[in-house]
Amino acid sequence: MTGPAPGAPGAAGAAFTRPDPSREAVLEARGVTVEFDGRRVLDDVSFWVPKGEFVCLCGPNGAGKSTFLKAALGLVSPTRGSVLVLGAATHKAPAGRVGYVPQRKADAARFPAAVVDLIVANLRGSWPLHVGARDRQRARDALARVHGEHLLDRPLSRLSGGEAQRVFLARALVTEPVLLILDEPTAGVDASGRAEFLDLLAALAASDELAAVLVTHNLAAVARCAERIVYLDAGRLVAWGLPGELLGRGSLSALAHAPSARAMPDEE
Amino acid sequence: MNPIAWLAEPFAHPFLVRAMAAGALVAALCATLGVFVVQRGLSYIGDGLAHATFGGIALGLLVGVSTENMIWAALPFTVLVAFGITKVLRRGTLGGDVATGVLSSASFALGVILMGLRPADAPPVNVETVLFGSLLAVSPQDLWVVGAVAAVAGGLVIANWGRLAYLTFDPELAALSGVNVRVFDYLLLSLTAAVIVVAVKTVGVALVSSFMIIPAAAARMLGSSFGRVALIAIVLGVVGSQIGLFLSYHLNVASGATIILTLGALFGAAWPLRRRG
């Protein structure tokens, strides 16, 4: 399948460059509206992500970024509209087609398990009592992609913040997903861990292996990884274009109005 | 008395052999489910559901269920309370401890009121037995019930171990890996409710949560994987129950309380051996 016609989806920013419609759409948001208890959190959001494109989803706190991610992951059902992965509703996509890297999960360190268990759990859809040689090798291969083979048997309690996020990235990659979704993966990670993680993301963005959507407040991450930027504010899509088009206007936060500018801190 | 005779003496009493068998089964079940609830930060759900059981027992007695069969009145009532706690827990507005506190104390209070509403000519009920248990009074029929619950609950936990463990690690990630989190949330708390009802019959409302928390907490300090933690918790629970019963027989003190103190001693012994990091 190929992507939707340019300009067809939604909202603002007709001057921004849309993806080439001849490319295959991996993720497609069609007029996504989400309401909680009558409160509209997302309002008619439409954009699409072609194969191999790395998209940064930006916006101030409360813009609806996390809700959009949950809709894309199938954890929240849109009130109206739909989110499709390779043309199918996300909740119908087979487990593993969408890889997910969450914000740093401090609670994970309290769970008695090794890194290999966490990665194999995502492969099997079930926490392993025993890991066979084949699954162990697949976990090792996934860790190699994030330069973390040495972490294979390390307890989760003994990972630094940066190591933990690399392990979660390996966990997401082990199922060979078509789409990778990352929710502020460097939040709460120290400077060196953040730099290492951004190197990995930049390499993924350059490889064109898979489509990715990165939610971040980190302008350094946007500058290094984004092949396209989607900017939400107050639940609405404000801009969707190339980094040069958006960053060239001074800063991302200048796209929205003053409240957005206050809520778009650069972690670095 | 020679040591062999001293060790063998309790086994000459059928009631004590039944108590040991029931104690071992209840300890193993509570420890298994305790590993999940302690890891999820729901340690006091055992205590809460045990108090809810009292409400179910009182309701059963009020409508004419005999004291021998009160477990069958307590079971559906406690499972319903567990469903209520799960529903509140899943909505995420209030914590599991708040849901447990509200529903269990309300159920216990209901039990107290229902006990008072029983007709004056109704058969007398020893509330102390309900609250503190009577492992030494376990009948052959009780042992069959405990065995049946152990078989069903144990079988369901073993069959669904991987999904329950994944859910315990992180519900969101488990859901994204294809685990039906809603179904397994309800399954876990329903099994916990069923096991607690049986445990109340043997160790009593007041002591049941210790059976659930102490072996799991001690094992959490020693095990390197979730599977090993469960195995260690079961061993500690069973060993603690058997030593506790043995001591209570020879010291002529309350069995339930002695078991809990033995489990506490095992926790203390595990503390210096805890894994760091």
How much is the pLDDT for B45? 86
Specify the range with the lowest mean pLDDT, choosing from A58-62, A109-113, B69-73: B69-73
Is residue A251 predicted with pLDDT exceeding 70? no
Any long-range contacts for B99-106 (C-beta under 8 Å, 24+ apart)? B100/B42, B100/B44, B100/B45, B100/B47, B100/B48, B100/B49, B101/B44, B101/B48, B103/B48, B103/B52, B104/B47, B104/B48, B104/B49, B104/B50, B104/B51, B104/B52, B105/B51
- pLDDT given at position B186: 92
What one-letter code names the amino acid at A257? H
Encoded amino acid at B20, one letter: M
Cβ proximity of A156 and A118 under 8 Å: yes
Residues A125, B226: C-beta atoms closer than 8 Å:
no
Average pLDDT, chain A: 84
- Percentage of chain A surpassing pLDDT 70? 85
Give the separation between CA B49 and CA B28, rounded to whole angstroms: 18
Rounded CA-CA distance A33/A71 in Å is 10
How much is the pLDDT for B109? 92
Question: pLDDT tens digits, residue range B78-132?
Answer: 999 999 888 888 877 777 778 888 888 899 899 989 988 888 887 777 777 777 6
Radius of gyration of chain B (CA): 19
Each residue's pLDDT tens digit, A8-23: 344 444 478 888 888 8
- Is the pLDDT score of A247 beyond 80? no
Which residue is closest to A96 within chain B, CA to CA? B177
Length of chain A: 268
CA pair distance A29, A48, nearest whole angstrom:
6
Which pLDDT band holds residue A259 (cuts at 50, 70, 90)? Answer: very low
pLDDT of residue A67: 92
- Predicted confidence at residue A84, as pLDDT, reads 92
Q: Is A29 within 8 Å of A68 (Cβ atoms)?
A: yes
Nearest CB to A122 within list B168, B177, B277? B177
Burial class, B178, CB count within 10 angstroms (exposed 0-12 / middle 13-18 / buried 19+): middle
pLDDT at A8: 39
Q: Kindly provide the ipTM of the predicted complex, given to two decimals.
A: 0.84
Are A124 and B170 inside 8 Å of each other by CB? no
| pLDDT at residue B37, as a whole number | 92
Q: What is the average per-residue pLDDT within A190-198? A: 86
Q: Which of A1-5, A77-81, A158-162, B13-17 has the lowest mean pLDDT?
A: A1-5
The span from the CA of A117 to the CA of A155, in Å, is: 9
Q: Is the pLDDT of residue A166 over 80?
A: yes
Q: Is the pLDDT of residue B51 over 90?
A: no
The residue of B166, B167, B172, B276 whose CB has the most chain A CBs within 10 angstroms, and thus the best one to mutate to test that interface, is B166
Facing B277 at nearest CB: one of A118, A127, A155 = A155
- Whether B166 contacts chain A with CB within 8 A: yes
Residue ranges of A 63-102 with Cβ closer than 8 A to chain B:
73-75, 95-96, 98, 100, 102
- H/E stretch holding A266 reads none
> Which amino acid, A23?
R
- Do the Cβ atoms of A264 and A60 come closer than 8 Å? yes
Confidence category of residue A175, pLDDT binned at 50, 70, 90: very high
Q: What is the DSSP string of A32-46?
A: EEEEETTEEEEEEEE
Q: Tell me the chain B residues in contact with residue A158 when contact means C-beta distances shorter than 8 Å.
A: 277
pLDDT at A148: 93
Residue A261: pLDDT band (50, 70, 90) is very low
Give the type of residue at A221. A
pLDDT category, A262, cuts 50, 70, 90?
Answer: very low
